[in-house]
Amino acid sequence: MAGGIKFARNRPLSLLLLLSTRVCAAELLSPARVTFVRRALWRLPHTAQRSGSVDVSDLGLTLSDLDTPIPAGPDGPSVVLTRGVESSSGLADKQDEGISWQESRDTVEATLIIPGLRGQPAAAMLMELTETTATVTVFGRTIWSCILRGQIDPRASTSAIRLDGLQPVIEVALAKARRDPRWNGFVASIGVDSVLQ
């Protein structure tokens, strides 16, 4: 213990972090201080960069912290906190990033661009939603489906299909059945009945 602060194993890093917090509080990082901090960081051993991992055990976080409820924002109950992309394919070697999604406390919104639907007329397509699945049909035949990462209220959820050139773009806004659990994605698994894999 030094000055009431417990140092981690990497003393240079601990000292640098302590120094940078003092500098930030005192001078809001003047250009001279920014240069000093950059040089000090450059001189530190780059073991964390070489190993690909950084020890954050001193933060006191666990994996269960990732499952905590999404907090309400100051202006309302729904703030976008998570977003990402996923593959629309069920095949491990075919990662197309055809699904982009964003999650808030109440909804999961996603845009699906499924390459195998190119050239299909939007008027012949339908997105069907149940409590746990999303299914795309063309001319009444199931072409693509997935199991969702959580439960939804299908009556409060919406979908729209439009064309971008020859590529159908499916946009969905799914109302979560329960507000608290985080999905951290859109698709739990691609349906086995999907013609497009």
* Residue 1 resides in a domain: no
pLDDT in tens, 140-159: 999 999 999 999 999 999 99
Residues 85 and 128 in one domain: yes
Most confident among 45-54, 77-86, 100-109 (mean pLDDT): 100-109
120 and 30 co-located in one domain: no
Q: Do 87 and 177 have their domain in common?
A: yes
106 pLDDT more than 50: yes
- Per-residue pLDDT band at 27 (split at 50, 70, 90): very low
Could you tell me if 41 and 96 lie in one domain?
no
More confident residue, 193 or 166: 166
pLDDT tens for each residue of 84-95: 999 888 777 777
Amino acid type, 175: A
* pLDDT value at residue 91: 75
Half-sphere exposure of 163 (CA within 13 A, CB side): 11
> Would you say residue 71 lies in a domain?
no
Q: How confident is the model at residue 182 (pLDDT cuts 50, 70, 90)?
A: confident
Domain count across the chain: 2
Question: Residue 166 above 90 pLDDT?
Answer: yes
What's the whole-number average pLDDT of the chain? 75
Q: Quick check: 168 pLDDT over 80?
A: yes
- Beta bridge partners, 108, equal 103, 174
Asked if residue 80 lies in contact with residue 173, where contact means CB atoms within 8 angstroms, the answer is no
Mean pLDDT of 94-98: 83
What is the rounded end-to-end Cα distance, in angstroms, of the chain? Answer: 58
Lowest-confidence pick of 13-17, 110-114, 179-183: 13-17
Burial bucket for residue 158 (CB in 10 Å: 0-12, 13-18, 19+): middle
Looking at the fold, whether 175 and 82 belong to one and the same domain comes out as: yes
- Domain hosting 151: range is 76-190
- Kindly state the average pLDDT of the residues 71-93: 73
* pLDDT, tens digit (0-9, with 9 covering 90-100), for 37-68: 555 555 555 544 455 566 667 777 777 776 76
Q: What is the CATH number of the domain that holds 164?
A: 2.60.40.790
| Residues 167 and 81 placed together within one structural domain of the fold | yes
